[in-house]
Amino acid sequence: MRCQQLEQQWEDWLEGRDAPELAAHLQACAHCRTMAEEFRGLNAMVPLLRDEPPALAPGFWLRLRERIEATDRQEAYWAAFNSLAGRAAAVLAVLLLALSLLTLRQQPLTSVTGIDPVQEASTIPNVELSNGELTQDQVLVSLVEMDVKP
């Protein structure tokens, strides 16, 4: 078995757990045997770095509380700002809508072509039906001209 295929087994082997493939490999591979010795050396050296955790300075918790309170204040400010901004946006939207409605109402009644609708209607040629009666449009135009509501 190749050395790289056994990488996962080293931790078990170093902790004295069952790692039969690595154990067998170590019999045959001088490179890995050297590495095993080095790892044992490291395991003896690294614990020298183990320290007791340091004691905290007396003001540590007070400082933390102050930072937390400052964060809370900041969050409250942004929450209020966001809520205010949301409300302002809603009011603005309503105002814009009202303004556009008002503008639409104040515009004079014009047709799409820009000609007065009454004038436009009068341009429609008189077309009589074959039986001599007037068309519906002609009746409407006559009524408009006479200022009579249909």
Partner 1 sequence: MERRRLTEVGAPRGARPGQDEEQNLIRRAQKGDHEAFETLLRQHQRRVLSLISHLLRRPADIEDIAQQVFLKVYLALPRFDFRSAFGTWLYRIAVNECYDHLRRQRARKSAAAAEIPLEEVVSLEQLGSSATQPEGLDIVARTELRQVAEKLFRRLSPDDRLVLTLKELEGFSIEEIAQIMRLQESTVKVRIFRARKRLAEAYRRLVRARLPRS
* Site mask for partner 1 (CB under 8 A), range 7-26, x = bound: xxxxxx--------------
Total number of residues that touch partner 1 (CB under 8 A):
36
* Site mask for partner 1 (CB under 8 A), range 54-83, x = bound: x-xx--xx-xxx-xx--x------------
* Residues 6 or more apart whose Cβ sits within 8 Å of residue 113: 120
33 versus 87: smaller Cβ distance to partner 1 = 33
Instruction: Give the residue, chosen from 28, 45, 112, 127, that forms a contact with partner 1 under the rule CB under 8 A.
Output: 45
How many angstroms separate the CA atoms of 145 and 126, rounded?
A: 14
DSSP classification of residue 114: S
How many angstroms separate the CA atoms of 17 and 9, rounded?
A: 9
Instruction: Give the residue, chosen from 46, 102, 104, 127, that forms a contact with partner 1 under the rule CB under 8 A.
Output: 46
44 versus 112: smaller Cβ distance to partner 1 = 44
Angle at 42 between CA 17 and CA 14, to 5 degrees: 5
Q: Which two tokens stand for residue 18?
A: 């069952």
Task: Kindly tell me the burial class for residue 121, based on how many C-beta atoms sit within 10 Å of its own C-beta (0-12, 13-18, 19 or more).
Answer: middle
- Interface positions with partner 1 (CB under 8 A): 7-12, 34-35, 37-54, 56-57, 60-61, 63-65, 67-68, 71
